[in-house]
Amino acid sequence: MTALVAQLEIHDRGPDTEQSCVASDGFCPGWIVDHIDRYLHPLWQHVYLSLISVACGFLIAFALAVLAHRRRWLVGPIVGITGVLYTLPSIAVFFLLQPITGRGALTAIIALTAYTLLILFRNIVAGLENVPADAVDAARGMGLTDRQVLWRVELPLAVPEIVAGLRIAATTTVGLATLAFFAGAGGLGGEIFAQITFKSNVVVAGGLCLALAVAFDVALLLAQRLLTPWRTAGTARA
Amino acid sequence: MSRFGDAIDFLLHAREARSGGTEVGGAQLLPMLWTHLELTAVSVAIAVAVAVPLALWLGHVGRGELLATSLANVGRAVPSLALIAFFVAYLGVGFTNVTLALVLLAIPPILTNTYVGVRQADRDAVDAARGMGMTGVQIVRRVELPLALPLICGGVRTSVVNVIATATIAPLAGVVTLGDPIIAGGVYGEDGRLGAAILVALLAVAAEALFALVQRAVVPRGIRLTHTPHRRHRTMRRTILALLALLVLGVAAGGCGSDDDEGGAAGTAAAGATDAATQAAASSDRIASNPDNASTTIVVGSKNFTEQKVLGEIYAQALAAAGYTVKTELNLGDEKTALKALEDGQIDAYPEYTGTALLSFFGVPTDELPKDPAAAFEQVRTRFAEDGITALPPTPFTSSNEVAVTRETAERLGLTTISDLADHAPDLTLYGTPECRQRLDCLLGLQEVYGLDFKRFVPVDPALRHEVLANGDADVSIVFTTDPQIERDDEVLLEDDQGMFPPYNSTLLVKTSLLEQAGPDLAATVEAVNRGLTDEALQELNARVDLDKQTPAEVAEAYLRESGFIE
């Protein structure tokens, strides 16, 4: 029989400061700087979950809103149904979906998408509704078809309200995606949960969530500026 | 769909816990429901008491618009999990701390809505009131507040629904709400998990509907005409209809009957791999990669605490080095959850402690527990073999449950053995994992073997087992022998003078069918890496995770490298 060639190195954990800060679950800037890379993959998962969910939610809500814009009676039922989806706690939905869709990103994305629908639908509908009737009449007078009126007049004018809805949906989704690890989809929540007593970890992972929400918010604001050049021009003159 | 039926059944009828002992489900959910509601009510009440007067004043004097509006945005972006975690990390666990976190969560919607409600109050009405000679306080009380009331209720409604949702993760911080079956899983089973999720969902929808009604009722009679009541009516009706639809769906799913197909009797056990193992291990410590193994996929699982994750990673990486295709499913939950995952084929292997298997799986009574590690393993191996599971030879290290107190408590009460707790237990609070309640090597054993009757038992996530001692929440906590925090926090382990704990060597449980398919390298590799897993080594490996904050994957790789198993 051979004995082990090499042995596991037993570290002496003396009371030196940096070590004891980490060992005692403290807030340790040095550790954070050295270990920031461990958060990159969960951050990417978080970005992925949030982006896909908001994008899917937007496509669905947009289609529903355009449909309901011409058929007003649809607004009530759609708000009712998406309202219930919005009320269901996402952590419950993550588990309710698992018997059907299993564990993984798909389950998380379905739940997060469902959550965004009400916010987005309401804002898109409100945006379309608030378009000045004069503008629509003028467009019709110029001979634009219904479809042209929608795409060339109503939607551009509704952009501010649509973007406002997207901003709420995006920040909320980033927050809720911290629970996606319960559905087996990873994300920054998994990191928080993995070492919930370690202050440095909680602060970094939680902080990254906040930063991500802010980044999405700023990005959407910038997008709005680019999409509505006439508004910035107007304010510049005023 | 029968899973939903079983979940509904869990809600309606109590049943024996999967680990035996107590009952779960049915009426046993009431205390959790109560805690959930209590937590929600207290948090929202405090939030209302803080936010409404503040926002009324800000709105009345027309200041702080930026605060009121940006608070709402920031509030939305703060993840509830991060908020709870922040409070756990900085203030510790318990009802008060969770309440505080939830108050912070509940304030923004109420504050913003109240502010907007006051600002939107008809300026003419306010001017008229002033003209009538009302004082500032009178204007707020008789004009602005009534006019803002519907919006304030809307804010409260949002907060209540948010808080109900977030209270679901309160068990992470030691408050047993309806989230316990969801988060603790194992004891309650999958039905419990799903059942509790349904209950939380219904609770949120019910609260939403209730507050929608209240919101409608508080609209001042004077301005009711300006609203369009029939539309509200219809929305209400739709919400109730949707609720009913959900119920019908659930009941229908329940009616679909129970067509559970219980996994059939598995093939007989055949464990002849041990000879090959010793041969392979004798030749060299370096794990050789065998290309033939690539066609075998092994999913390695683990339970939900540090040592398990490290062991899971060690086996996964070692087997990968031997050429197998390896996947991991670490952090599964407690022992019942892990065993079920193995039986169901979700995983192919996971490390389990001989003592845990004897007590939790096979219900061996305390007076029949083997004291000798080899005898304990032999018994476990024979029992598992009947179920088509092979228990591979155990590790040298043993890591038992331990009854821990702070040095201060030990000295104050003169405690050295578990029996010494007898006189003091009625004044002491015990903390342990949720499954502790049903385990003979935990609360159940302390009650039955030692006759201890603690003042209170509080279930917490295993990650918090030392935290609760250090911050004074727990008088007594259940910890593990190989925990490095015992030394860090200068904890005292009480001696098991009645022999409640059997040996706890770790054995990798593998599906026998997979073992046969995988060839001799699997068992040989596991046996080789096991030899270095001594008490000392495990304390070091756990310390690298719990104290040095390395990840289990990094620590496992370092173990394999430092011991010469991989380059």
In a domain, B338, yes or no: yes
If asked whether residues B391 and B406 sit together in one domain, one would say: no
Give the residue from B188, B218, B253 where a domain finishes. Answer: B253
Mutate to test the interface with B, among A25, A197, A204, A209 (most CBs of B within 10 A): A197
B298 SS3 class: strand
Per-residue pLDDT at B500: 86
Q: Which amino acid is at A35?
A: H
A105 touches chain B (CB under 8 A): no
Gap between the Cα atoms of B160 and B109, Å rounded: 10
User: Tokens at residue A219, please?
Assistant: 């990005």
A61 touches chain B (CB under 8 A): no
Is residue A238's pLDDT more than 50? no
CB A64 within 8 A of CB A230: no
If asked whether residues B450 and B421 sit together in one domain, one would say: yes
If asked whether residues B424 and B360 sit together in one domain, one would say: no
Residue with tokens 């995952």: B341
Which of B440, B399, B168 shows the shortest CA–CA distance to A95?
Answer: B168
Q: Which residues of A touch B488 (CB under 8 A)?
A: 23-24
Buried b (16+ CB within 10 A) or exposed e, B531-554: bbbeeebbbbbbbbbbbbbbbbbb
If asked whether residues B389 and B406 sit together in one domain, one would say: no
- In chain A the first and final C-alpha atoms are separated, in Å, by 89
Neighbour count for residue B54 (Cβ, 10 Å):
18
Which of B11, B169, B196 shows the shortest CA–CA distance to A175?
Answer: B169
The verdict on a CB contact (< 8 Å) between A76 and B467 is no
Query: Which helix (H) or strand (E) element contains residue B530?
Result: helix B520-530
If one counts the domains in chain A, the total is 1
Gap between the Cα atoms of B101 and B94, Å rounded: 11
- Residue in chain B closest to A93 (alpha carbons) equals B197
Average pLDDT of span A17-26: 74
A189 touches chain B (CB under 8 A): yes
The verdict on a CB contact (< 8 Å) between A88 and B464 is no
In a domain, B44, yes or no: yes
Q: Any idea what the CATH number is for the domain that residue B443 is in? A: 3.40.190.120
- In chain B the first and final C-alpha atoms are separated, in Å, by 49
Sign of CA dihedral B321, B326, B332, B334: negative
Which of A203, A172, A177, A199 shows the shortest CA–CA distance to A188?
Answer: A177
In a domain, A18, yes or no: no
| Torsion angle in degrees (nearest 10) through CA of B333, B338, B341, B343 | -160
- The minimum CA-CA distance between A208 and chain B, rounded to whole Å, is 10
Gap between the Cα atoms of A61 and A82, Å rounded: 10
CB B137 within 8 A of CB B145: no
In a domain, B243, yes or no: yes
| Contacts (Cβ under 8 Å, ≥6 apart) of A129 | A69
Per-residue pLDDT at B274: 39
Phi, psi values for residue B405, rounded to 5°: -135, 165
Is residue A216's pLDDT more than 50? yes
> Measured between CB atoms, which of B79, B208, B234 is closest to A87?
B208
B78 SS3 class: coil
> Measured between CB atoms, which of A9, A81, A175 is closest to B79?
A175
- The string of pLDDT tens digits covering residues A181-198 is 988 898 999 999 888 888
B343-346's contacts with Cβ under 8 Å and 24+ in sequence apart are B343/B263, B343/B387, B343/B389, B344/B263, B345/B511, B346/B299, B346/B301
If asked whether residues B390 and B405 sit together in one domain, one would say: no
Q: Any idea what the CATH number is for the domain that residue B137 is in? A: 1.10.3720.10
Q: Any idea what the CATH number is for the domain that residue A206 is in? A: 1.10.3720.10
Gap between the Cα atoms of B255 and B363, Å rounded: 34
- Residue in chain A closest to B280 (alpha carbons) equals A1
Beta-bridge mates of residue B459: B432
Gap between the Cα atoms of B442 and A236, Å rounded: 71
The verdict on a CB contact (< 8 Å) between B285 and A214 is no
A237 touches chain B (CB under 8 A): no
- The minimum CA-CA distance between B101 and chain A, rounded to whole Å, is 14
Residue with tokens 């509907």: B209
| Torsion angle in degrees (nearest 10) through CA of B373, B379, B381, B383 | -150
CB A62 within 8 A of CB B164: no
Gap between the Cα atoms of A19 and A203, Å rounded: 18
CB B175 within 8 A of CB B94: yes
In a domain, B25, yes or no: no
Average pLDDT of span A116-141: 93
Which of B542, B546, B548, B547 shows the shortest CA–CA distance to B556?
Answer: B542
CB B386 within 8 A of CB B269: yes
| Torsion angle in degrees (nearest 10) through CA of A178, A180, A185, A189 | 30
User: Tokens at residue B553, please?
Assistant: 């994957």
If one counts the domains in chain B, the total is 3
> Measured between CB atoms, which of A4, A31, A92 is closest to B531?
A4
Of residues B412 and A22, which shows the higher confidence score? B412
A36 touches chain B (CB under 8 A): no
- The minimum CA-CA distance between A106 and chain B, rounded to whole Å, is 17
Per-residue pLDDT at B265: 34
In a domain, B263, yes or no: no
Buried b (16+ CB within 10 A) or exposed e, A26-56: ebbeebeeebeebbeebbebbbbbbebbbeb
Per-residue pLDDT at B234: 56
Whole-model pTM: value is: 0.79
Gap between the Cα atoms of A190 and A192, Å rounded: 5
If asked whether residues B392 and B405 sit together in one domain, one would say: no
If asked whether residues B83 and B212 sit together in one domain, one would say: yes
Gap between the Cα atoms of B99 and B430, Å rounded: 21
ipTM rounded to 2 decimals: 0.85
- The minimum CA-CA distance between A177 and chain B, rounded to whole Å, is 8
Gap between the Cα atoms of B282 and B84, Å rounded: 51
If asked whether residues B48 and B180 sit together in one domain, one would say: yes
Gap between the Cα atoms of B466 and B393, Å rounded: 31
Percent of all residues in chain A with a pLDDT value above 70, rounded to a whole number: 92
Q: Which domain holds residue B53?
A: 30-253
Q: Which residues of A touch B172 (CB under 8 A)?
A: 193, 196
- Residue in chain A closest to B329 (alpha carbons) equals A184
Q: Which residues of B touch A188 (CB under 8 A)?
A: 79
Per-residue pLDDT at A44: 96
Average pLDDT of span A12-24: 69
| Contacts (Cβ under 8 Å, ≥6 apart) of B12 | B26
In a domain, B202, yes or no: yes
Q: Which residues of B touch A206 (CB under 8 A)?
A: 79, 82-83, 85-86
Beta-bridge mates of residue B457: B430
In a domain, A4, yes or no: no
Per-residue pLDDT at B256: 43
Q: Which domain holds residue A110?
A: 40-227
> For chain B, what is the largest distance between any 2 Cα atoms, rounded to a whole number of angstroms?
101
A52 touches chain B (CB under 8 A): no
Per-residue pLDDT at B367: 79
Per-residue pLDDT at A22: 85
- The minimum CA-CA distance between A80 and chain B, rounded to whole Å, is 6
If asked whether residues B490 and B518 sit together in one domain, one would say: no
Q: Which amino acid is at B482?
A: T
Cα A172 vs. chain centroid, distance in angstroms? 6
Q: Which residues of A touch B564 (CB under 8 A)?
A: 4-6
Per-residue pLDDT at B243: 58
Residue with tokens 């994750």: B309
Phi, psi values for residue B326, rounded to 5°: -120, 135
CB B549 within 8 A of CB A19: no
Q: Which amino acid is at A137?
A: D
Q: Which residues of B touch A89 (CB under 8 A)?
A: 161, 164-165, 168, 200-201, 204
The verdict on a CB contact (< 8 Å) between A209 and B242 is no
Phi, psi values for residue B479, rounded to 5°: -125, -175
B353 SS3 class: strand
Per-residue pLDDT at A235: 53
Q: Which amino acid is at A118?
A: L
- Residue in chain A closest to B234 (alpha carbons) equals A76
In a domain, B4, yes or no: no
If asked whether residues B326 and B378 sit together in one domain, one would say: yes
Neighbour count for residue B379 (Cβ, 10 Å):
20
Is residue A14's pLDDT more than 90? no
The verdict on a CB contact (< 8 Å) between A178 and B79 is yes
Contact residues, A window 125-184, toward B, CB-based 8 Å cutoff = 168, 171-172, 174-179, 182
If asked whether residues B390 and B450 sit together in one domain, one would say: no
Mutate to test the interface with A, among B70, B80, B81 (most CBs of A within 10 A): B81
In a domain, A206, yes or no: yes
Per-residue pLDDT at B278: 40
The verdict on a CB contact (< 8 Å) between B549 and A198 is yes
Beta-bridge mates of residue B326: B298
In a domain, A14, yes or no: no
- The string of pLDDT tens digits covering residues A49-90 is 999 999 999 999 999 999 998 888 999 999 999 999 999 998
Looking only at the bridges linking them, the beta strands covering B389-391 and B325-329 are: unpaired
Give chain B's residues under pLDDT 70.
1, 16-23, 185-187, 223-284
- The minimum CA-CA distance between A171 and chain B, rounded to whole Å, is 5
Helices B80-91 and A199-227 pack at an angle, to 10 degrees, of 150
